[in-house]
């Protein structure tokens, strides 16, 4: 709905503790091997990229209702004008049930991995012993998990019915509370086909690894205990300061608003509508979607809100894991393969609505989604040049909210801001300066600030300099003062986080307005390595190592097309947010004399600069290049950074076969890196004199990608590329 008609002058932000969301209705089918695991997943990274929404992958800790801000444990808070909480429910587990003894079905993103880990523990202990499996809870979720588990044990772990036992335990006196009698009968038939035993009317009151305790005192041995009993609100909901019901869910009005705060909505399992006693079923969340969308818009525009009217009944489809399903509607129940086909026909189109295919079709230009009024157009006409500077009030308010670290070498900084900063040199008398600037590669300004600081400081680390002070250069998108202030605050907060880690501080900067968010830093550093590590110190025999994998340019280009999967983005962020300071310090300890970082010119460009400065050549092995996940796949699909063609200017100095030139790894040589790693030439004599260095390189995870060789001043290319 946002993609079709985004709200004018409004930023949509999605917050999740995972980069993917999981559709619970298809989890049993994945367990039974009827679907691939990615079929049930909504990739939030790609979805948010497609609709131009900001994605924050983090855990919310609390709400500041007075200021309207959402707080996190390890990053700055963000503001909200309207907030929807749809975090589902968690299984209700007694205190005496140890967390390491059971496998809750939530979070579903890690459910399969946790089952596999428990089975591997059983194998390691005594594979010849029967695997004892227990499912606690006999609601529809527990029934489906129990019915699909035998198939999972077969296709994933090679076990048949003689290798395991399976029992369902419920405190109810019947299977499937709330379903029809006929449905209960069909479930029992399915259980009988799978050899599933049932224990009714007894609760699991305790659990330790290897055993569970029932309410009548009986103890049962168990290797895999899947917890699907009951539903309650997540513990952290109690920290939000909102009224909850007796099961820990957020109390709401029929409009889905919290009874205590009109700005906050709670939907799906997370909410509990006063006056209704609804079962926790996903069908209600789906039907609440259009009402939520209408009411969010009404909240932001002072419009009329709509109440949600729950449907009285709905179709229940229970996957029995053997190609059949049980269907129940308004008391009628039947089973068969037709019911499974019906379930499949409903589930697949539903989940595919939220799965991005990576093409540009269907994408909407949020900036042109609705005509602007004359007043809007006038407001957007802004001056350029020095007239485009951000207002002093915005800048001063954003700076006032920051904690600027103190550095004794800063004589004049932001504490008494002037036209320029004054920094005292250290005893060496040498200050090293650098500057770096880029358009924001992500929608999260906090991460953009962190990456900008790391990217700018990387040149200093490579030369053996210790950062002291930084000047921030920021271009903010057009918008209201409050929006610009918040963006600037998030940017500089991320920047300051990394500056603190490297022992530097922020002393000033410059802000301007523009079409897109951009940030860079001009940095000063003490030149601690003497002599400085430069690009001209290579010698024949040096071995070449890389400290980070390659491919960030390809992945960021894919992200602009909503084609970068969540797991790829997670790996990319880990690399871009990894400082080169520790790697540079290790090189200093080894006595490495020449170093460079791999950034915008790509590996080939930066290596070519070193080879030319040192009058050497090099042999590179494509098969040894470390690559980020997804890079080869994307290159084969034709995805590339727009800077890659310009980086190929060094190809005239590269010798490569036609066959190797066609390999996707060859294209990676020209891929521009954002916050890339270091290219480390290890002197052959140094490695020969200290054999432990090669072992240390392996521990660091730095692969050898090639060797420096002599350069013939004739027609020999600088770079020989081999498979």
Those residues whose C-beta lies under 8 Å from the C-beta of residue 507, and which sit 6 or more positions away, are: 410, 412, 413, 414, 421, 423, 469, 470, 471
Report which DSSP code applies to 625: -
Q: Examine residue 267 and say whether the peptide bond preceding it is cis (omega within 30 degrees of 0).
A: no
* Cβ atoms within 10 Å of 415's Cβ, excluding its own: 9
- Among the options 386, 536, 616, 700, which is catalytic? 386
User: How far apart are alpha carbons 229 and 248 in whole angstroms?
Assistant: 15
Q: How far is CA 384 from CA 5, 388, 475, 512, in A?
A: 30, 5, 12, 9
- 700 belongs to the catalytic site: no
Query: 549: part of which helix (H) or strand (E)?
Result: none
Query: 344: part of which helix (H) or strand (E)?
Result: helix 337-352
- Cβ atoms of 232 and 141 closer than 8 Å: no
Q: How far is CA 37 from CA 41, 42, 72, 108, 481, in A?
A: 7, 11, 30, 11, 44
Considering only CA atoms, give the Rg of the chain: 30
DSSP-derived secondary structure for 500-517: HHTT-EEEEEEEEEESS-
To which residue do tokens 């390491």 refer? 100
User: How far apart are alpha carbons 295 and 89 in whole angstroms?
Assistant: 23
Q: How far is CA 145 from CA 29, 55, 97, 163, in A?
A: 9, 31, 20, 18
User: How far apart are alpha carbons 227 and 104 in whole angstroms?
Assistant: 4
DSSP-derived secondary structure for 639-681: ---TTHHHHGGGGGGEE--HHHHTSHHHHHTT---SS--EEEE
**For the chain, what is the total number of helices (H) and then of strands (E)?**
21, 35
- Cβ atoms of 294 and 254 closer than 8 Å: no
Q: Which of 80, 88, 110, 90 is nearest to 11 (CA)?
A: 80
User: What positions carry a catalytic annotation?
Assistant: 386
């Amino acid at each position: 709905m946002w993609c079709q008609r985004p709200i004018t002058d409004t930023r949509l932000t999605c917050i999740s503790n995972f980069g993917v969301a999981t559709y619970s209705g298809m989890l049993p089918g994945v367990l039974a091997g009827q679907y691939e695991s990615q079929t049930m997943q909504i990739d939030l990274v790609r979805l948010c990229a497609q609709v131009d929404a900001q994605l924050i992958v983090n855990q919310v800790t609390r709400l500041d209702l007075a200021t309207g801000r959402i707080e996190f444990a390890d990053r700055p808070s963000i503001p909200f004008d309207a907030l929807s909480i749809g975090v589902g429910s968690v299984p209700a587990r007694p205190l005496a049930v140890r967390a390491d003894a059971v496998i809750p079905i939530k979070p579903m993103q890690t459910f399969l991995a946790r089952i596999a880990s428990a089975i591997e523990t059983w194998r390691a202990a005594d594979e010849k012993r029967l695997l004892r499996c227990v499912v606690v809870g006999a609601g529809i979720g527990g029934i489906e998990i129990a019915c699909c588990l035998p198939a999972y044990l077969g296709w994933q772990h090679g076990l048949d019915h003689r290798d395991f036992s399976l029992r369902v335990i419920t405190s109810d006196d019947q299977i499937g509370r709330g379903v029809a009698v006929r449905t209960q009968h069909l479930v029992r038939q399915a259980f009988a086909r799978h050899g599933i035993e049932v224990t009714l009317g007894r609760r699991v009151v305790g659990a330790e690894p290897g055993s569970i305790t029932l309410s009548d005192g009986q103890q049962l041995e168990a290797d895999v205990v899947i917890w699907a009993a009951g539903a309650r609100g997540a513990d952290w909901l109690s920290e939000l300061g909102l009224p909850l019901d007796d099961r820990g869910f957020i109390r709401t009005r029929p409009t889905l608003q919290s009874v205590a705060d009109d700005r906050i909505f709670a939907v799906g399992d997370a909410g509990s509508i006063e006056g209704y006693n609804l079962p926790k079923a996903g069908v209600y969340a789906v039907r609440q979607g259009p009402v939520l969308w209408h009411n969010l818009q009404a909240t932001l525009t002072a419009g009329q809100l709509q109440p949600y009217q729950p449907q009285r009944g709905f179709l229940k489809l229970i996957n029995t894991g053997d190609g059949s399903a049980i269907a129940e509607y308004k008391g009628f129940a039947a089973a068969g393969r037709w019911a499974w086909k019906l379930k499949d026909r409903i589930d697949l189109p539903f989940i595919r609505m939220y799965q991005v295919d990576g093409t540009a079709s269907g994408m909407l230009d949020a900036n042109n989604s609705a005509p602007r009024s004359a007043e809007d157009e006038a407001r957007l006409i802004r001056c350029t040049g020095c007239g485009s500077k951000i207002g002093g009030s915005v800048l001063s308010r954003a700076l006032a909210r920051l904690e600027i670290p103190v550095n004794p070498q800063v004589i004049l900084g932001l504490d008494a801001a002037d036209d320029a900063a004054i920094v005292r040199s250290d005893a060496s008398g040498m200050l090293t300066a650098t500057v770096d600037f880029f358009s924001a590669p992500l929608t999260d300004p906090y991460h953009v600030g962190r990456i900008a600081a790391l990217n700018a400081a990387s040149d200093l680390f490579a030369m053996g300099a210790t950062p002291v002070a930084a000047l921030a250069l920021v271009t903010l998108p057009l918008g209201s003062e409050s929006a610009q202030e918040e963006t600037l605050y998030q940017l500089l907060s991320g920047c300051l986080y990394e500056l603190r880690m490297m022992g530097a501080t922020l002393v000033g900067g410059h802000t301007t307005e523009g079409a897109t968010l951009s940030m860079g830093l001009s940095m000063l550093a003490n030149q601690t390595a003497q002599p400085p590590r430069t690009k001209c110190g290579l010698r024949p025999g040096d071995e070449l190592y890389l400290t980070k994998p390659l491919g960030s340019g390809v992945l960021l280009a894919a992200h602009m097309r909503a084609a970068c999967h969540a797991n790829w983005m997670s790996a990319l962020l880990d690399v871009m947010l990894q400082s080169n300071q520790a790697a540079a310090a290790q090189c200093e300890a080894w006595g490495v004399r020449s170093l460079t970082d791999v950034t915008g010119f790509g590996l080939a460009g930066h290596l070519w600069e070193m080879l030319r400065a040192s009058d050497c050549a090099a042999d590179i092995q494509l098969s040894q290049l470390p690559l980020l996940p997804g890079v080869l796949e994307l290159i084969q699909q034709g995805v590339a950074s727009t800077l890659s063609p310009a980086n190929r200017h060094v190809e005239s100095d590269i010798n490569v076969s036609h066959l190797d030139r066609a390999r996707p790894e060859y294209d990676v040589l020209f891929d521009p890196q954002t916050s890339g790693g270091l290219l480390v030439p290890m002197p052959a004599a140094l490695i020969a004199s200290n054999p432990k260095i090669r072992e240390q390189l392996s521990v660091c995870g730095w692969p050898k990608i090639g060797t420096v060789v002599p350069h013939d001043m004739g027609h020999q290319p600088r770079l020989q590329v081999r498979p």
